Homo-oligomer: A and B are copies of this chain.
């Protein structure tokens, strides 16, 4: 009887770990949708701005990288969430 209970407990722990891992990928997948669209829009507008004012190209590129960094950070935090759910 005791070994059955121990087995049961081990099963439960495994089951919970499996359930956590189940949606860990979905977490990253959802977190990548927004930054993907955002970075695309951002660089698209930056390229348009360069074509409109070629002498501002340097400052436009600097600002573009700032925006890419802030948007990409959201997806990288999503990857941290995935790692925490899958392996922690």
Contacts and interface: CB of A to CB of B under 8 A. Distances in A.
A10 B4 CA distance: 15
Interface in A36-73: 36-57, 59-61, 63-64, 66-68, 70-73
A54 B54 contact: no
Report, as a range, how many residues of chain A touch the other chain: 35 or more
Interface of A: 3-5, 7-57, 59-61, 63-64, 66-68, 70-75, 77-79, 81-82, 84-86, 88
B28 A26 contact: no
B12 A11 contact: yes
Contacts of A3: 5
A36 B29 CA distance: 13
